[in-house]
Chain A
Amino acid sequence: MISFSVNKRPVKVDVDPSTPLLWVLRENLELTGTKYGCGMAQCGACTVHINGQAVRSCVAPVSRAAGKEITTIEGLSPDLSHPLQRAWLEIDVPQCGYCQSGQIMSAAVLLNEIPNPTDDDIDQALTGNICRCGTYPRIRRAVHRAAEMMAKGGAR
């Protein structure tokens, strides 16, 4: 049994400890917002937070989550109220949408660390997240917009 918390809810799972966290989230915990894209830390579709750090859950064994706090896209806000989600809606970022959970989770860590990021900061934080549909121009605008909302006290 491995115990950890997901989106502030305690969970216990009985799986092989080498199983990637991604598949435990998706299959055992039915949190399918976190996506599989490559399985080798190349695309960022599987990005979640472990104790506030962005982690590629496809290469993180579930044992690494033991005793930690995991946040997935489903736990970012209950109602699309996170500034990034509001900015994503305002700028209409997603196309197919498949990469977007990972994009948002990576951007969330960036904004926690650098509330007013430059283009270079955005490049650095999001270069690990592929978007095959090419939503990058809008992602960039939306991250800036979310930073603006946070500065105006828009944070939850």
Chain B
Amino acid sequence: MIAERQAHDRSVVGALPRRDFLKLSVAASGGLLIGLYLPASKAAAAATFAPNAFVRIGTDDSVTVIVNHSEMGQGVFTALLMILAEELDADWTKVRFEPAPVDPVYNHPVFHMQITGGSTSTWSSFDQFRNAGAAARAMLVTAAAQRWNVDAASCRTEKSIVIHSASNRRLSYGQLAESATKITPPQQVALKDPKDFKLIGTPLKRLDTPEKTNGKGIFGIDVKLPGMLTAVVARPPVFGGKLKSFNADKTKAMPGVRKVVEVPSGVAVIADGFWTAKRGRDALQIEWDEGPMADFDSKAQREQYAAMAKQPGLVARKEGDAGSAISSAAKKIEAVYAVPYLSHAMMEPLNCAVDLRADHCEIWTGTQLQTIDRMNAAAIAGLKPEQVQIHTTLLGGGFGRRANPVSDFVSEAVHVAKAAGAPVRVIWTREDDMHGGYYRPMFYHSLVGGVDADGNPLFWSHHLVGQSIVAGTPFEMIIKDGIDPTSVEGADDVPYAIPNLSVEYHPAKIGVPVLWWRSVGHSHNAFVKESFIDELAALGGKDPFELRRKLLTKSPRNLGVLELAAEKAGWGKPLPARRARGIAVHASFESYTAQVAEVSVDSDGKVRVHRVVCAVDCGRYVNPGIIEAQMQGGVIFGLTAAFYNELTFEKGRIQQSNFHDYPMLRINETPEIEVHIVKNNEKSGGIGEPGVPCAAPAVTNAIFAATGKRIHRLPIRMNEAVGGSKEDLK
């Protein structure tokens, strides 16, 4: 079935990405169409009008939009189509999506490679998809005008039809497709006035819902190739470990096991199907050299971080003089916050299918990082990048894990394919996925703050310790003066008007592979920043909403969402006994969110979140239905981490393995989540991640309001909330 889906010509010839592919410059926009076109050799079949790399119009009136971002739940297979269809004036019922192959023309306009991440897909491709739609429309209009021998300016378009009102003639885009192929693409096109948008800004239904409702959607794990084998890999139990020796006699004797081979990441059992491969792996006898991390332990790591936090760090922010303000404060408070390593735990565990031939290699997987995966695969296969094609399937969740600069799951599968001698897919079990590394890093935060005699914050001093997620990767170039901006984002940009502010970062070098995890640095820094401002409010005897409001007068968009969330949540209105509200506000990915959580705490410490009111300002938006879903999903993702998730190490081994000890929030624990979207014409921001950061602090601030106990460490430990024994962090 995948063969059918991938039947189109995907033999793409692309130039090798340059070394400067990572220039984080903002692409020029402004209506110029440079870079929209596929090389002529790639133009689709004659009967189809393929004016540029992003759209094809068939003689049957179908409009196929080629999407250069991976669909992982965030709705790009709908939102990006809306943008293009808007300018094309396409009949929405005829529009469908197709994932893009790997080719430089599909590079992210800001990151200059094919990547899905950073909550950037919709806004970064906005101009690109508008231009692509507008250019196609202009060519169709020209084709019609030539056919009718009228001035193109006298024609209009509506729902995939070109209309010449004066003579009451009409031709559908399908009827024009063939002649439009002969029209020269315009160099510049006029775009619609946003006030004329018909699709953009409306809650259109997602186009990928049918195939996600009848079981037909193809995820990486569903790919089936003729003669395909399945591999499961035994990997070292400790990061940095290596294979010493193995005995596969029992495994090889099992019916259905084809090969047992050593690969750089461990030992691969290649079999007819998953179950045989997995049982074959269970039967292996392996001796590992556990390497330098054999004694690695989370507790010791926390102690090491605590000691580091006492030293001077790299200055990420400095305003006024926090050091000398300490002595003039009327009251001060110290706090230590800690967050653990976290697994992305996408619902679909990692997997990758590879068909490796002498002169080309085809890969099927759900990836967020096609360009780099292709380069890495090519290097391993001994091929040129243009001899490797990646078919991006649906992703059963990504959250950053499927954008790996070393392409771990793709690289390994290519190594396995080299040994397999047949098409092969590698499937990771849930346990493999959870033990496979590339976690949200553990962070340790130590803060001191103080208020003046009127209770207003006077100083804020913050040290944070943790691993950089980009050090040692091709993305390292974003590190400036030793500071990884993704480590300090959300901490160094405290928006509150506090006269003396300092933030210092301590990069830790630890052999645990780490990576971006939905909302990245904001996932921990918002928890710390929004908890500590609450601590200062309590210290100064102020209402936490009113204090934030006062300190945000120069930050209107933060203030706007803060006030909106408070108003919708009924901030200050009485609640039933044992219930309380907590508030948090945070800017991330160029969007602004605030959340108010309504929480109750039983006498035995059971916390229940009843309601979360979320306000979001992401500037001009495309689809409010998708925004609501992303915010709700983000809140649930944040609550899951806040209540449950923690990966810990003992003797170098991760203690958790599956959903019984790394639980997910379930439907019965999910609060009512209301989403209020601010309507304005600001520049568009992201939406996939900004729902996450405020969830934890809104809840822990509510727990404080209900019980007087401050949660300093995630996941939330109930005994702390009710004043039970608290593990010392210092």
Which residues of A are in contact with B by a Cβ distance under 8 Å? 16, 19-20, 23, 26-28, 30-40, 42-43, 45, 72-74, 76-77, 80, 85, 88-89, 92-101, 104, 122-124, 126-140
Distance A120 CA – B26 CA, assembled complex (angstroms): 50
Contacts of A16 in B (CB 8 A): 275
Which chain A residues border B31 with CB–CB below 8 Å?
none
A20 touches B667 (CB 8 A): no
A34 near B215 with CB under 8 A, answer yes
Known: A94-B213, A101-B215, A122-B667. A40 touches B658 (CB 8 A): yes
**Least distance between A128 CB and chain B CB atoms (Å):** 8
Q: From known contacts A35-B348, A88-B213, A94-B209, infer whether A127 and B666 are also in contact, taking CB-CB under 8 Å.
A: yes
Question: Within the complex, what minimum Cβ distance (angstroms) separates B688 from chain A?
Answer: 10
Contact partner of B670 (CB less than 8 A), chosen from A88, A97, A137, is A137
Is there contact, CB below 8 Å, between B205 and A92?
Answer: yes
The 3 A-B residue pairs with the shortest CB-CB distance in the complex, in nearest-first order: A33-B215, A134-B636, A97-B212
In the bound complex, CA of A26 to CA of B75 (Å): 26
Total count of chain B residues near the partner, CB < 8 A: 61
A interface SS class? loop
Q: Which of B398, B637, B666 contacts A130 (CB 8 A)?
A: B666
Q: Nearest-CB distance from A105 to chain B (Å)?
A: 9
Given A99-B347, A130-B659, A135-B633, 9 other A-B residues pairs in contact with their CB atoms under 8 A:
A20-B275, A32-B218, A43-B659, A74-B214, A93-B213, A128-B666, A133-B397, A136-B665, A137-B672
The reply to whether A126 and B275 form a contact with Cβ atoms under 8 Å apart is no
Q: Is B660 an interface residue (CB 8 A)?
A: yes
15 contacts between A and B (CB under 8 A): A40-B658, A40-B660, A72-B215, A74-B214, A76-B214, A95-B630, A95-B633, A96-B397, A96-B398, A133-B633, A134-B636, A135-B632, A136-B636, A137-B670, A140-B667
Contacts of A93 in B (CB 8 A): 209, 213
| Given A93-B209, A98-B397, CB of A132 within 8 Å of CB of B667 | no
Report the minimum CB–CB distance from A2 to chain B (whole Å). 14
Which B residues touch A31, using CB under 8 A?
A: 215
Q: Is the CB of B345 within 8 A of A132?
A: yes
B 660-690 to A, binary, CB cutoff 8 A, 1 in contact else 0: 1000111110101100000000000000000
Whether a CB of chain A sits under 8 angstroms from the CB of B720 is no
**Which residues of chain A are near B205, meaning CB under 8 Å?**
89, 92
Q: Report the minimal beta-carbon distance from B273 to chain A, rounded to whole angstroms.
A: 5
Interface residues of B in 179-224 (CB under 8 A from A): 205-206, 208-219, 221-222, 224
Interface: B607 (CB within 8 A):
no
Whether A23 touches B273, Cβ cut-off 8 Å, given contacts A30-B224, A80-B210, A92-B625, is: yes
Complex interface: chain A residues within 8 A of B211 (CB):
97
Q: Are B396 and A97 in contact (CB under 8 A)?
A: yes
CB pair A134 B634 closer than 8 Å: yes
Q: Does B349 contact A (CB under 8 A)?
A: yes
Distance between A26 CB and nearest chain B CB, rounded to angstroms: 8
User: Which residues of B lie under 8 Å from residue A124 when comparing CB positions?
Assistant: 668
With CB as the reference atom, state the residue of chain B lying closest to A45: B347
* Chain A residue contacts of B585, Cβ below 8 A: none
| A73–B545 alpha-carbon span in the complex (Å) | 48
Q: Which residues of A contact B72 (CB under 8 A)?
A: 96
Contacts of A140 in B (CB 8 A): 667
* In-complex Cβ contact of B273 among A27, A34, A128 (8 A): A27
Contact residues in A for B213 (Cβ distance below 8 Å): 80, 85, 88-89, 93-94, 97, 100, 104
Q: Is the CB of B347 within 8 A of A98?
A: yes
A132–B663 CA distance with the chains assembled, in angstroms? 10
Give the contacting residue for A35; candidates B73, B221, B660, B664; CB below 8 A. B221
Is B503's beta carbon under 8 Å from chain A? Answer: no
When the two chains form the complex, which single residue of A34, A72, A92, A96 contacts B395, counting CB atoms closer than 8 Å? A96
Quick one: closest A residue to B254, CB to CB? A16
- Mask of B72-91 contacts with A, CB within 8 angstroms, 1/0: 11110000000000000000
Contact yes or no, B666 A132, CB < 8 A: no
Q: Which residue of B lies closest to A87 (CB)?
A: B213
- Cα A98 to Cα B222 in complex, Å, equals 11
Which residue of chain B has the shortest Cβ distance to A43 in the bound complex? B659
The contact string, 1 if C-beta is below 8 Å from chain A, for chain B 336-348, is 0000000001111
Contact of B212 among A23, A38, A76, A94 (CB under 8 A): A94
